[in-house]
Amino acid sequence: MDILGYDFMIRAMLAAVFTGLAAPTVGTYLVQRRLALMGDGLGHVAVTGVALGLLTGSSPTWTAIVVAVLGAVLVEVIRVQGHTNGDVALALLFYGGIAGGVLITGIAGQSAARLQEFLFGSITSISVSDVWATMALATLVVVICVGLMPQLFAVAQDQEFARVAGLNVQAYNVLVAVLAAVTVTVAMRTVGLLLVSALMVVPVATAQQVTRSFRTTLALAMGLGVAASLGGLVVSAFASYQWRVAPGPTIVLLALAGFAVTWPIGAVLRRRARLRTPFVAEPPLGHEVTDEHPHVHGDDCGHPAVEHGDHVDYIHDGHRHAAHGGHYDEH
């Protein structure tokens, strides 16, 4: 157990908890807007920011934040202006980001290994000041995302409706993009820029397998994010007695394992929900009595009961049986 008592490990665990909490919070709004890959794109852009930090000798965290925020605003502008080829324009920006980053790192005379710390995370080498920055920024992200939930939810749910409700949709979109950029750079030390999007999106995808409301999805995703990042860190710490196990990929794989376990549950729930979707409330074509029917349908007879207008139909071997007097009708 002693490994958890080391200072570097305590710092790493603090960073993991805060990142695990913040990443899925923004991620939920991105997924809601069907922009799941936005975090990934901003991660690529942030590579240039890191490289600029290495080149100028300033803190890569802060240069990465500045460049990622600029990238996020640019992405929003592109999305608003160029409707048709928006995603191609985004792709150009993203590839520009990573290519620029690798190029500038070389010019700065830094090794690929140095850049790799940021690409795949190096949570166990995080400094005290970086932990403070991580905690402060993550808290800011969570407070805004949870505090403005009604507004951000409405904007992500239906932009046009939100505009007619008097909300400044563009400002909220930029806000979410900026929060995503901040989160990306915060999570950069934990899972790395190339895997950052996983921590933003996978817990949300897992949560929504079993939830029906936005609020519970958000809360569950935050919980799963913390579980994955803290769990992944601890697992990799113990595993590293034996092998070289990097925390970043361990965290992401743990999050994915959570999804893999939850998905079948979600599939069953979805199937059941689909089965129970009411039939169109049109009356049946005519009065058609079933063949000999010894079975009695009821609340727990094993046949799904589906609403059909003012009564229920029991799904029975591809037929829809509705009770009528002393017999069953085909509906």
CB of 189 within 8 A of CB of 126? yes
Contact with other proteins (CB under 8 A) among 280, 286, 288, 325: 280
Contact with other proteins (CB under 8 A) among 273, 275, 289, 301: 273
**Residue count at the site for other proteins (CB under 8 A)?**
39
Both tokens assigned to 161: 């409706």
Tell me: does residue 28 bind other proteins (CB under 8 A): yes
Tell me: does residue 156 bind other proteins (CB under 8 A): yes
Tell me: does residue 315 bind other proteins (CB under 8 A): no
Burial of 102 (0-12, 13-18, 19+ CB in 10 A): middle
x/- letters, 130..149, toward other proteins (CB under 8 A) = -----------------xx-
Both tokens assigned to 29: 């709004």
x/- letters, 185..224, toward other proteins (CB under 8 A) = -------------------x---x--xxxxx-x-------
Whole-angstrom distance, CA of residue 322 vs CA of residue 311:
8
Tell me: does residue 129 bind other proteins (CB under 8 A): no
Q: Please, what is the minimum distance in Å from the beta carbon of residue 308 to other proteins? A: 11
CB of 218 within 8 A of CB of 211? no
Tell me: does residue 153 bind other proteins (CB under 8 A): yes
Phi, psi dihedral angles at 305 (to 5 degrees): -100, 120
Q: Please, what is the minimum distance in Å from the beta carbon of residue 33 to other proteins? A: 6
- Encode 120-172 in three state secondary structure: HCCHHHCCHHHHHHHHHHHHHHHHHHHHCHHHHHHHHHCHHHHHHCCCCHHHH
Tell me: does residue 167 bind other proteins (CB under 8 A): yes
Phi, psi dihedral angles at 124 (to 5 degrees): -80, -10
Q: By CB under 8 A, name the binding residues for other proteins.
A: 28, 31-34, 36, 147-148, 150-151, 153-154, 156-158, 160-167, 204, 208, 211-215, 217, 273, 276-278, 280-282, 309
